Amino acid sequence: MRRTERLFALSELLRARRTGITAEAIAERFGVTMRTVYRDLDALRAASLPVRSDRGPGGGYALDKSYALPPVNFTAREAAVLAALGGFAASMRALPFTETLASALDKVRAALPRPAMRDLEAKLGELSFVGVPQVPVADEVRRAVERAWFENAPLLVTYHATSGERTERTVRLRKVVMDRRETRLFVHDVERDAERELLLHRIERAKVLKPFTSIESPAAT
């Protein structure tokens, strides 16, 4: 079995179970080593699949219970509005979460029957928005900010201030504000124990860190 096929099968195995499954059981199921199992689980986490590990009876690896969403039925009109507004936000890069938004819009379009899809595309061709595009931001920075935001994890950033000074700091995201062409991040500076305001486009590098307590040192993932 190819790795891509195994990863898909593993994700479906986790999705179908009500209780956890041990790494040993996964290794036996797919005929791979424990090391391969751990690599596959890490790959699923990197793909934003919320894999958790529980101890005790019935424990093991499982998907977070909040992952599954109930079915939602959209009319073609509702889907058209969502796709148009979401597409505009993604094209203007008005959010740090453009890749996640684009993925969600693909699922909305794919869920529609073909006739409804044709009608949707026709209507979108008649709809346009005029706005001020966001200042460009590196994709890897956007991805790190999104992950830190949703996982409530600390973030190590290299920041280029308006004064020209470059600093490296560990921060926790408090609030994200889109302000015309700029996205402002209100953060807590961990080392200085102070509240800061950062401009997203002035972050040159960003890395999500493992959660830590106030007495621990930051550790990169």
Distance CA 7, CA 83 (A): 29
> Which pLDDT score is estimated for 93?
65
> Which pLDDT score is estimated for 161?
92
Let me know how long the chain is: 221
> Which pLDDT score is estimated for 100?
78
Distance CA 146, CA 60 (A): 27
> Which pLDDT score is estimated for 94?
56
Burial (CB count <10 Å: 0-12, 13-18, 19+), residue 144: buried
> Which pLDDT score is estimated for 214?
42
> Which pLDDT score is estimated for 131?
66
Whole-model pTM over 0.75:
no
Residues of the chain with pLDDT under 70: 18, 58, 65-72, 92-95, 123-124, 127-133, 212-221
Residue 182: CA count within 13 A, CB half-sphere: 10
Burial (CB count <10 Å: 0-12, 13-18, 19+), residue 65: exposed
